[in-house]
Structure 1
């Protein structure tokens, strides 16, 4: 029986996001040093993403609001795993990521599904 190639699905997702999406930047702030006087370092990672209106069925009125946006971020070329502590910049405007969900069948992350504050 043939096995499914999830790496190929990564490439297909990246191709679609590249064709129909846009460039963005993931910003991660890390702290080092003593807790009473930490040094914060900001690192920016370019990414490819597609952003769209949120599916109304996802709106719960508390964490997810009707003004939020959802999207997909390509993992190809992205050296970090996204977290909700990261910020994502789209068209020069930073957004908080409320939800970051890696789509990882069989342990291979194909794409990240995100919900951002608008």
Structure 2
């Protein structure tokens, strides 16, 4: 039986995101040391992404709210896996990730990261 090639699917996702996407960033805040204190450290990771507004039929006012964005983030070259608590910068606006799907269909290879994000403020 032929094994499915997830790298090929990932390459296709990368081509589509590169064609229709934009440059953005995923920011991760590392909290201060619990013993020594200090300031939180914000690390920004460049990313290629496609932000899209949710269709009205999906907005229920609780899980998905008006203004939430569905953001497709290319996994190629991204040093981290975007997760809840990270902030995505798209269209010059910061969005806090509130839900995410790494799309690791084989459990190993991330094809594309799809996150639900809400304007942070």
Is TM more than 0.5 here? Answer: yes
Query: How far 1:8 sits from its partner (Å)?
Result: 1.2
Other-structure match for 2:54: 54
1:44-71 CA-partner distances (Å, limit 9, x unpaired): 0000111112134432311311321212
User: SS in structure 1 opposite 2:48?
Assistant: strand
| Structure with the higher fraction of residues in strand conformation | 1
Instruction: Provide runs of 4+ in structure 1 moved above 6 Å.
Output: none
Q: Pick which of 44-53 and 32-41 moved more.
A: 32-41
Task: Give structure 1 stretches of 5+ with no counterpart.
Answer: none
User: SS in structure 2 opposite 1:66?
Assistant: coil
Other-structure match for 2:9: 9
1:99–1:116: 8 Å Cα contact kept in structure 2?
yes
Q: Pick which of 25-34 and 15-24 moved more.
A: 25-34
1:22-46 CA-partner distances (Å, limit 9, x unpaired): 1101110112422572442110000
Root mean square deviation, CA, Å: 1.7
Other-structure match for 2:71: 71
User: SS in structure 2 opposite 1:106?
Assistant: coil
1:63–1:98: 8 Å Cα contact kept in structure 2?
no
Other-structure match for 1:114: 115
1:46–1:78: 8 Å Cα contact kept in structure 2?
yes
Instruction: Go from structure 1 to structure 2 and tell me whether the alpha carbon gap of 1:62 and 1:13 turns closer, same or farther (over 3 Å shift).
Output: same
Aligned length: 118
Other-structure match for 1:25: 25
Q: Pick which of 83-92 and 28-37 moved more.
A: 28-37
Task: Give structure 2 stretches of 5+ with no counterpart.
Answer: none
